[in-house]
Amino acid sequence: MAPVGYGFLLLIFTAALVGVVVGAIAGAVVWRLRCNLALGGLLTACVLPLVLVAEAYGSVYWLRAKVIWGAPSAALTFLICSIAARWLEASTALRRSWTALAAGGLALGVGLLYLAWFKHRLLSAHGAWDPLLPTLATDIVLLVVLLLTRRPARQ
């Protein structure tokens, strides 16, 4: 593979890494502030391109590729953090700040495991687009789990 190809693989992996960090932090902040999860997901989707532009010193040349590769990982860790925070709040007696911190740490840990899998799939013989479909399918499953485990509204 030519040096340009390795450079693009590095760009893809960096975008996925930034997505993991942004998603975990946003999930913890949304949980701590008791925001609506849909609004939090929308804010996460708006913050990710801003962080990617800031990471590239203001350059928007590769922004579309970075968002395509960073958004699924950001959604994955955001949803994992939200589910983990909901579970931790229900099963432990931690304060809300500690719950958000623990859920963010758990999401970062799972995100790092995801990045190891992502790198393996990215460098495999199947092609660069190979990691996207399983990640999107996992995001949909996590979204369904999050919606099914929500508490009913009080009357």
pLDDT tens digits, residue range 34-91? 888 899 999 999 999 999 999 888 788 889 989 998 999 999 999 999 999 999 998 8
Q: Which domain holds residue 55?
A: 3-148
Burial of 85 (0-12, 13-18, 19+ CB in 10 A): buried
| Domains identified in the chain, total number | 1
Q: Does residue 155 belong to any structural domain of this protein?
A: no
pLDDT value at residue 148: 85
State the pLDDT confidence band at 127, using cuts at 50, 70 and 90.
low
Residue 23 forms part of a structural domain: yes
User: What is the distance between the alpha carbons of residues 93 and 135, in angstroms, rounded to a whole number?
Assistant: 32
pTM: 0.88
154 assigned to some structural domain: no
Question: Any idea which residue has 């928007």 for tokens?
Answer: 60
- Whether residue 83 is contained in a domain is answered as yes
User: 121: how many CB neighbours lie within 10 A of its CB?
Assistant: 17
- Identify whether 108 is part of a domain: yes
